């Protein structure tokens, strides 16, 4: 039972734009005020309010620099997380990938992997990106495994770059190029036929 506003569809989940109704129907606000959900991200520093969430939804839905999607279970239409490509750069053709799985009872079920492949593949095929990257703290083993699944390679380490839980921790940087992602997942690169006028094919 899928919703009628699907944007990208997988086997078990689909991605759609964030909606103001997400603040009423689910636990979106609770996620961003939950220390366990926010253990490895930049939230849970200040209280996250409904007004802040509404401003954020308005901003991302009107920006071509950010693609922020709700991760929704296909069989219940339950909003279980968010996933994004942020800082999309039209010249360098790169973006930062991020994911937040808010509903803890669905952790470890493979939904983050499914959503990640959908949005990264969309970034390369539809947005014509050449490189997608992410950063995560060295303690976030789950995100490191997810980056590895996506074909990302560890590109560097930023020493003591983030202050979390009373101490500074290192951030590991990961990235993947379009040809490497396509090779890993056996995708044919149709970049030549999808290329906007004036841009060289990868």
What is residue 4's predicted lDDT score, i.e. its pLDDT?
65
What is residue 48's predicted lDDT score, i.e. its pLDDT?
87
What is residue 197's predicted lDDT score, i.e. its pLDDT?
41
30-35, long-range: CB < 8 A, 24+ apart? 30/102, 31/81, 31/100, 31/102, 31/103, 32/102, 34/102
CA 50 vs. chain centroid, Å, equals 21
Report how far residue 42's alpha carbon sits from residue 44's, in angstroms, rounded to the nearest whole number.
7
What is residue 95's predicted lDDT score, i.e. its pLDDT?
98
What is residue 3's predicted lDDT score, i.e. its pLDDT?
59
What is residue 41's predicted lDDT score, i.e. its pLDDT?
73
Per domain, the residue ranges of the chain are 8-187
- pLDDT mean by block of 10 residues, the chain; 202 residues: 80 97 92 87 77 95 96 96 97 97 94 98 97 95 96 97 89 97 90 46 45
Largest CA distance in the chain: 51
Domain 8-187 class in CATH: alpha beta
Residue entry with tokens 């030549």: 192
What is residue 1's predicted lDDT score, i.e. its pLDDT?
56
Pairing mode, strands 94-101 and 131-137: parallel
């Amino acid at each position: 039972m899928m919703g009628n506003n699907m944007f990208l569809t997988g086997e078990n989940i689909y991605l759609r734009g964030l909606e103001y109704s997400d603040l009423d129907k689910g636990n979106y606000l609770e996620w961003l005020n939950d220390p366990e959900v926010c253990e490895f991200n930049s939230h849970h520093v200040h209280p996250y309010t409904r007004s802040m969430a509404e401003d954020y939804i308005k901003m991302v839905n009107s920006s071509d620099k950010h693609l922020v999607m709700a991760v929704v279970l296909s069989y219940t239409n339950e909003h279980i997380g968010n996933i994004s490509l942020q800082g999309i750069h039209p010249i360098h053709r790169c973006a930062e990938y991020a994911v937040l799985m808010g509903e803890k009872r669905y952790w470890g079920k493979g939904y983050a992997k499914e959503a990640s492949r959908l949005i990264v593949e969309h970034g390369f095929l539809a947005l014509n990106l050449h490189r997608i990257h992410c950063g995560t703290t060295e303690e976030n083993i789950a995100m490191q495994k997810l980056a590895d699944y996506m074909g990302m390679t560890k590109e560097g380490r930023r020493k003591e770059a983030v202050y979390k839980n009373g101490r500074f921790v290192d951030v590991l940087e990961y990235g993947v190029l379009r040809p490497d992602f396509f090779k890993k997942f056996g995708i044919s690169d149709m970049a030549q036929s999808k290329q906007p006028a004036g841009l060289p094919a990868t």
